[in-house]
Amino acid sequence: MADYETIVYQVERGRARITLNRPEKLNALSNALQRELNDALWEADSDTSVHAVIIRGAGRAFSAGYDLTGLSRRPAASGDVPAAVYRGGRTFDDDAWQMERSQRLRMAIFDMHKPVVAQVHGFCLAGGTDIALLCDIVIAADDATIGFPPARAMGALPNNMWIYLIGPQWAKRLFLTGDTITGAEAAKLGLVLKAVPANLLEAEVEGLVDRMVMIDTDLLSANKRIVNLALELMGARTMQRLAVENDARAHLSPAVREFNQIAGEQGLKAALHWRDAKFGDGRARVDGPEIRDEQGRLV
């Protein structure tokens, strides 16, 4: 079993628990974390003692998104080969290629034979939703915060299972504003299977997996895969590939250039404030009217 630096991997009682373990960064998804997550998923899928996998986050969040601190830095080349021979982000195709590489790592959740349950608490934003919504089942704390705020000024969604879970109107409502919803609201829409009080979240997930552990792994595989094949027949796999290309297209927008300029000149915190401050609390409301105060907060 590999030694991991950005995740914790545990196998016990027929389950593998994968904990995103960068709590000081709200489990921001670095390239290293995504590679380790991919390795751990395939390790669990190969381990005959494992029936199901739980993905969860350490600290205050499931994951607040991709690690943005390295946006301006590209991996250095190894040896004497000039770094310029490696893809950066210079062209549309470079951008799509980089994101496709990350997407291949995430798609292990969808492709592996064994079921994967996301245990979502705290923030599940941006890239955090790319991980969670590829899982077979998502159970959230009712006070979790779920959404894709980068849609406001940083691009489009590089993974898109939303349309299959909540339909076109709510997908558009959330994409076209970057607003967030709570775990309880996400359950009403069908974005997650259910929401429970935060103090009961772990017990709820573990109890569900207890029941999966009683099922033969070959049967778990057969029943997961037939549902995912149905999703593929509805275009879900092609949609993920198209989502990456669409995000690369969105990165050409003036708003993204302005965000990157602010981040480069004033820092990431200033860029995020520029992106989000005008949206007040940044929340949507699933039931009832959206009445806001002068600062844009729901009342």
pLDDT higher than 60, residue 162: yes
Tell me how far apart the alpha carbons of residues 227 and 104 are, in angstroms, rounded to a whole number.
20
Q: Which residue has the tokens 């302005």?
A: 258
What is the number of other CB atoms lying within 10 angstroms of the CB of residue 83? 11
Res 84: pLDDT: 52
Place of tokens 């980068």: 150
Average pLDDT value for residue range 150-179: 97
> Given a cut of 60, is residue 49 above it in pLDDT?
yes
CA–CA gap between residue 182 and residue 141 (Å, rounded): 9
Q: How far apart are CA 109 and CA 144, in angstroms?
A: 22
Query: Which has the minimum average pLDDT: 73-77, 93-97, 132-136?
Result: 73-77
CA atoms within 13 A on the CB side of 237: 13
Whether residue 139 contacts residue 192, with contact meaning beta carbons closer than 8 Å, is answered with: yes
| pLDDT recorded at residue 79 | 39
The architecture (CATH level 2) of 7-75+83-279 comes to Alpha-Beta Complex (3.90)
pLDDT band at 73 (very low <50, low <70, confident <90, very high): very low
| Mean pLDDT, all residues of the chain | 93
Is residue 144 packed enough to be buried (19+ CB in 10 Å), middle (13-18) or exposed (0-12)? buried
Q: Over 90: is that where the pLDDT of 243 sits?
A: yes
How far is residue 94's CA from residue 283's CA, in Å, rounded to a whole number? 34
Which pLDDT belongs to residue 76?
A: 38
Structure tokens that stand for 74 in this block: 């590209």
pTM of the predicted model as reported, rounded to 2 decimal places: 0.93
The residue count of the chain comes to 299
HSE-up of 172 (CA within 13 Å, CB side)?
A: 3
